[in-house]
Amino acid sequence: MRQGKVPGLTNEEIMKFLRYLCQVGHHQDIFYLWRPYLKDPTDDMILELAVASKSEHIVTHNVRDFRGSERFGVKALRPQEMLKELEERK
């Protein structure tokens, strides 16, 4: 919800989308604790969740913070890159 990160959407629209994600998502137990692994230790939890849920991607504006995630089969993508990949899959 940082100002300017999602141009064209109001805070209300962003919250509606986040509520939707929470509604359709599921809780994922974490069994992998290799911390610290990433440069920023607070990002390790995100990588652990991606691996435990067998996710292919982490979508972030800070792909640099997830260097090394490929070792676990998880690729960090910027939102624009993820949208492009989804479009190509159609």
Q: Which residue has the higher pLDDT, 83 or 35?
A: 83
The CA R_g of the chain, rounded to the nearest whole Å, is 14
Residues 6+ away with beta carbon under 8 Å from 36: 44
Q: 5-47 pLDDT, tens per residue?
A: 777 888 898 899 889 989 998 888 877 666 788 988 889 989 9
| Of residues 85, 57, 81, the one with CA closest to residue 69 | 57
Query: Is the full-model pTM beyond 0.75?
Result: no
CA distance 41 to 48: 11
Domain limits, the chain: 11-89
